[in-house]
Amino acid sequence: MSDCPVLVEMRGIVKRYPGVVANDHVDFTLCSGEIHGLLGENGAGKTTLMSILYGSVKPDAGTILVGGSEYKPRSPRDALKRGIVMVHQHFKLVETLTVLDNIVLAARGAGLGYSRAELRERLARVSERYGLYVDPDARVWQLSASEKQKVELARALVLDARILILDEPTTVLAPSEVEGLFDLIRAMKRDGRSIVFITHRLGEALAVCDRITVLRKGRVAGVIDLSRERATPTMLTRIMFGEEPPPPPVRRERRRGRRVLLVEDLWVRGNRGHWAVRAVSFNLFEGEILGIAGVAGNGQLELVEAIVGLRRPERGRILIDGFDATGASARVLVDEGVAYIPEDRVGMGVVPGLTVAENTVLRGYWRRGFYERGVIRWPAVERHAERIVKEFDVKVGSVSFPVETLSGGNIQRLIVGREISLGPRILVAYNPTSGLDARAAAFIRRELAAMADEGAAIILVSEDLDEILMLSDRVGVMYKGVLLGPLTREEASREKVGYMMATGTGV
Amino acid sequence: MRLKPSDRLATTLALTASLSVALLVFAAILGTHGYSVTGFARVVSSGFWPPENLSWRLSSIFINSLPVLFPALGLIVAFRMGFWNIGAEGQLLVGMAAATWVGVFLADRLPGASVLPAMVVAAFVAGALWAAGPALLRVWLGVNEVLTTLMLNYVAVHLVNYLVEYRWKDPRGFGFIRTPPLHESARIGAAEGAVLVVLAAGLVYFMLRYTQLGFELRIIGSSPKAARYAGISYAKVTLLAMLISGGLAGLGGMSVVAGLTGELMEAQRMSPGYGYTGIIAAWLGRLHPAAVVAASLFLGLIYERQSVLQATMRLGVGYTMLFNGLLLFAAISSTYLEKRLREAGRLG
Ligand SMILES: Nc1ncnc2c1ncn2[C@@H]1O[C@H](COP(=O)(O)OP(=O)(O)O)[C@@H](O)[C@H]1O
Ligand SMILES: [Mg+2]
């Protein structure tokens, strides 16, 4: 294709999963010493393609050449022998072991004959060379997400990976940490290593890559050599989605009404018993969207769960329009007008084995209209479900099908529809669009904007800073259990919020 | 709740296949132990003809199935919420004792028409209370219900034996360890049994499908996390479900004294493990009330021929248990087979 020295050549790769072709005759070449972006929206097949190269997924068809010779990995061990290492979206570290133990384990697994002392020595050298400082004796569970990522990267380098596959490495980072990762990637390139950088964010792909392969619905939609052609975000978007992107949400009104929620000096413990939320206080008003940004694991989940009645606060008060809702159950709060779109759609948001209709009253089956004279009125529930399915465009054959037959995007539409149909005063949404295709994500953002326009008060917790900035009237940042800000819409610049997310200061 | 046609086909195929294997294995064991397989089949299938015999035979099977049927209906309620009640045997035994107490010692002081209702209430309440203990331990202290319900079975055995031996033994019983016979008004036949079965199965069906409690326990059974999200009180639902589950098992105990023996004897002579067989019936019927009734009737067929098999073929009660065990194995392995069939159906 181009005249670069080809290192990896994947040809005609096919991988089918039940109901979906994850890779449909994909061709992919990686040159020696390049940073190669693998771009595509969620579900495009990026992870699958690279897992095949890494030997953890077996292709149904296709051939791979590495350095010109045939390569048929049976496991990641084979990949490692050819110098191929993958850093996964979800880290593969043993949490209870130390950093060094993890590296020793990986070296043994790969059949490398380094002693423990040698590995410690190599780790020190790698850390020095790439500025990847990690304490070899820290236990992994004590580390933050970005530190764990450093451990994975350091481990790959200690094992002397020549080809590094990084699967969506920026999703666990604060915006200000992203540039540091890019520097590291460039440094690895200078040392002659080749990098596959997987992302669904086109800005990142443009910022750091030499070439980009775009996947769309399991097929190659385009290969762009950035050293030869100029690529614009609009052009990449069109290649990624095959059409114009869906319209962004619009806020028609931005009128702040009465205060509906007061949170005062709230302290909440996390699952490990530590203080996940420390002395958080804020107000929430009718008609506004309060965005809460932050790197995952800084207490957002615990804060939100306390507000919606899923976690009992240890100290402090939650007042909804004067009603003391501190420690009230989720059912009481539903009746007080608090709706919740949880992050864990399949685990919490729906009951997969029950029907679509039953799931539309998962919160609210006790309400008049559905429950009368001691009996649940299923015909009324089914009519309600049909309305939600229609209004929120849930794709399902019949409301009596079990929810487990729906795709992720449709499940989320169902959840959003159900929660909005509760007629809430307060709507709490946690990462409501993560993992959804662009169309479903845009639909849900528009619904949230419309709710706020109609006077509902919305708390939007999201790891997607663009989403927060796009929708919010005020932006707070959770950092180590403390709520910073909130800043007004005008104050909340990308840089400022990003800096707060990373450092916990800057208000 | 509702299955799609292809799923129903998968269930039927899976159950048929695994039941056939269970029957074949049983036949093979009978054969290798020197029993006549055809003889066995003849005994089990005899008595349906001529028509004069038929209704007698059917009502006899029906009565014999009740001690399994009621606990099985109750277990549907517990199992649907994922509460592993292994204690139907104990709940059945205490229900049996309570029914005996009403039927033997209270019946002549009560107006005739109220004896049966009083027995039903006593048996239900006793079974329910026996089940309440493990439920409370679970919700208060998180104690595993499998252990507590199972241990209470042994306690119930000793309780019943104590009552017959030391409290209620018939002074005119020629030294046999048994209570005086139940009052005439305290006996039930197929007709009364049928009324109770329709009521109990209807109640379970209605409860699961139409009440808040039923919906809540189905939610808990499928996703405890979603139940929390729906604001459901695990403690309340667990306790109520176990009261119903234990109460129905208690009715099973009443059906033993009132329908079969007419007197209370030592526990091991009263129940060959009906409560455990109820678990088998509940799984064979896939936790659906009507199907569970059908499965119990099938099990009743074997129980009813137990004494004949013993007399004509010298086939001990151990073989009935073996047979039941094979059925349980079939019921459980068929769920796996069913899943595979469904997946195959989706792909194809
Ligand atoms: N183990 C699996 N089982 C079933 N389907 C899968 C599996 N892994 C991926 N898929 C499906 O394959 C498609 C591509 O997934 P993936 O490669 O993870 O996409 P990406 O990494 O681009 O988001 C998706 O539709 C996904 O649901
Ligand atoms: Mg992926």
Residue A346 placed within a domain: no
pLDDT of residue B27: 92
Over residues B305-316, the mean pLDDT reads: 83
Using the predicted structure, report yes or no on whether residue B335 has a pLDDT greater than 50: yes
pLDDT in tens, B31-67: 999 898 888 888 888 877 777 788 888 899 999 999 9
pLDDT of residue B305: 84
ipTM of the complex model: 0.86
More confident call, A70 vs B348: A70
Residue B54 placed within a domain: yes
**Are A310 and B229 a contacting pair at CB < 8 A?**
yes
Residue A318 placed within a domain: yes
Q: At B217, which CATH number?
A: 1.10.3470
Residue B310 and residue B320 in one domain? no
Average pLDDT, chain B: 91
Residue B282 and residue B344 in one domain? no
Cross-strand partners of A163? A84, A194
pLDDT of residue B1: 41
Residue A254 placed within a domain: no
Residue B236 and residue B207 in one domain? yes
Over residues B74-84, the mean pLDDT reads: 97
Residue B8 and residue B102 in one domain? no
Cross-strand partners of A122? none
- With a 6 Å cutoff on the Cβ, whether A21 touches ligand 1 is no
pLDDT of residue A167: 92
Report in angstroms the alpha-carbon separations of A3 from A29, A31, A39, A356: 12, 9, 22, 54
Name every chain B residue with its beta carbon within 8 A of the beta carbon of A310: 228-229
pLDDT of residue B62: 95
Considering only CB atoms, B212 lies closest to which of A332, A347, A376, namely A376
Considering only CB atoms, B229 lies closest to which of A330, A355, A375, namely A330
Residue A233 and residue A127 in one domain? yes
**Which residue type, as a one-letter code, is found at position A175?**
P
Q: Which residue's C-alpha comes closest to atom 21 of ligand 1?
A: A47
pLDDT of residue A370: 96
Residue A28 placed within a domain: yes
Residue B237 placed within a domain: yes
Using the predicted structure, report yes or no on whether residue A255 has a pLDDT greater than 50: yes
Looking at the CA of A49, name the nearest ligand.
Answer: 1
Residue A162 placed within a domain: yes
Considering only CB atoms, A362 lies closest to which of B210, B211, B230, namely B230
Residue A247 placed within a domain: no
Residue B265 and residue B341 in one domain? no
Q: What is the count of structural domains for chain A? A: 3
**Which residue type, as a one-letter code, is found at position B33?**
H
Residue B42 placed within a domain: no
Over residues B173-199, the mean pLDDT reads: 94
Report in angstroms the alpha-carbon separations of A116 from A79, A112, A130: 22, 11, 21
Using the predicted structure, report yes or no on whether residue B107 has a pLDDT greater than 90: yes
Over residues B219-235, the mean pLDDT reads: 96
Using the predicted structure, report yes or no on whether residue B347 has a pLDDT greater than 50: no
State which residue of chain B sits closest to A333, comparing Cα positions: B231
pLDDT in tens, A476-504: 999 999 999 899 999 999 889 988 988 88
Q: How far is B214 from chain A (nearest CA, A)?
A: 10
- With a 6 Å cutoff on the Cβ, whether A427 touches ligand 1 is no
Residue B157 and residue B299 in one domain? yes
pLDDT of residue A1: 47
Site from B80, B209, B229, B287 to mutate, A interface, most A CB atoms within 10 angstroms? B229
- With a 6 Å cutoff on the Cβ, whether A309 touches ligand 1 is no
Residue A1 placed within a domain: no
Over residues A156-182, the mean pLDDT reads: 88
Phi, psi (5° rounding) for residue A196?
Answer: -105, 120
Strongest mean pLDDT among A402-406, B50-54, B339-343: A402-406
Residue B246 and residue B331 in one domain? no
Q: Which residue's C-alpha comes closest to atom 1 of ligand 1?
A: A17
Residue A210 and residue A82 in one domain? yes
Q: Which residue's C-alpha comes closest to atom 26 of ligand 1?
A: A43
The residue behind tokens 């097949």 is A45
Residue A133 and residue A17 in one domain? yes
- With a 6 Å cutoff on the Cβ, whether A15 touches ligand 1 is no
Residue A157 and residue A306 in one domain? no
pLDDT of residue B3: 47
The rounded distance, in Å, linking the Cα atoms of A274 and A301 is 14
Share of chain B above pLDDT 90, in %: 69
Looking at the CA of A41, name the nearest ligand.
Answer: 1
Residue A161 and residue A213 in one domain? yes
Name every chain A residue with its beta carbon within 8 A of the beta carbon of B218: 351, 354
Q: At A307, which CATH number?
A: 3.40.50.300
Residue A166 and residue A306 in one domain? no
Query: pTM of this prediction?
Result: 0.74
**Are A362 and B210 a contacting pair at CB < 8 A?**
no
Q: What is the count of structural domains for chain B? A: 2
pLDDT in tens, A429-482: 999 998 777 778 889 999 999 999 999 999 999 988 889 999 999 999 999 999
Name every chain B residue with its beta carbon within 8 A of the beta carbon of A375: 210-211
Confidence of residue A243 (pLDDT cuts 50, 70, 90): low
Name every chain B residue with its beta carbon within 8 A of the beta carbon of A332: 231
pLDDT in tens, A64-76: 999 999 999 998 8
Edge-first strand listing for the sheet containing A211-216 = A84-87, A163-167, A194-199, A35-39, A211-216, A219-225
Residue A222 and residue A75 in one domain? yes
The rounded distance, in Å, linking the Cα atoms of B157 and B18 is 33
**Are A342 and B229 a contacting pair at CB < 8 A?**
yes
Residue B155 and residue B201 in one domain? yes
Residue B76 and residue B160 in one domain? yes
Question: Which residue range is the domain that position A476 belongs to?
Answer: 278-337+425-444+456-507
Average pLDDT, chain A: 91
CA-based R_g, chain B, Å: 21
Question: Which residue range is the domain that position B338 belongs to?
Answer: 1-35+315-348
Share of chain B above pLDDT 70, in %: 96
Using the predicted structure, report yes or no on whether residue A172 has a pLDDT greater than 80: no
pLDDT of residue A301: 95
Over residues A359-386, the mean pLDDT reads: 96
Domain boundary among the residues A191, A220, A241 is at A241
Residue B324 placed within a domain: yes
pLDDT of residue B348: 37
The burial class, CB within 10 Å (0-12 / 13-18 / 19+), for B131 is buried
Q: How many CB atoms lie within 10 A of CB B219?
A: 25
Secondary structure letter of residue A131 according to DSSP? T
Residue B40 placed within a domain: no
Residue B2 and residue B140 in one domain? no
Pocket test for ligand 1, best of A13, A20, A50 (most atoms within 8 A of CB): A20
Q: How far is A272 from chain B (nearest CA, A)?
A: 18
Residues whose CB is less than 8 angstroms from the CB of residue A118 and which lie 6 or more positions away in sequence, other chains included: none
pLDDT in tens, B16-29: 888 899 989 999 99
Residue A24 and residue A95 in one domain? yes
**Are B223 and A353 a contacting pair at CB < 8 A?**
yes
**Are B223 and A351 a contacting pair at CB < 8 A?**
yes
**Are B230 and A371 a contacting pair at CB < 8 A?**
no
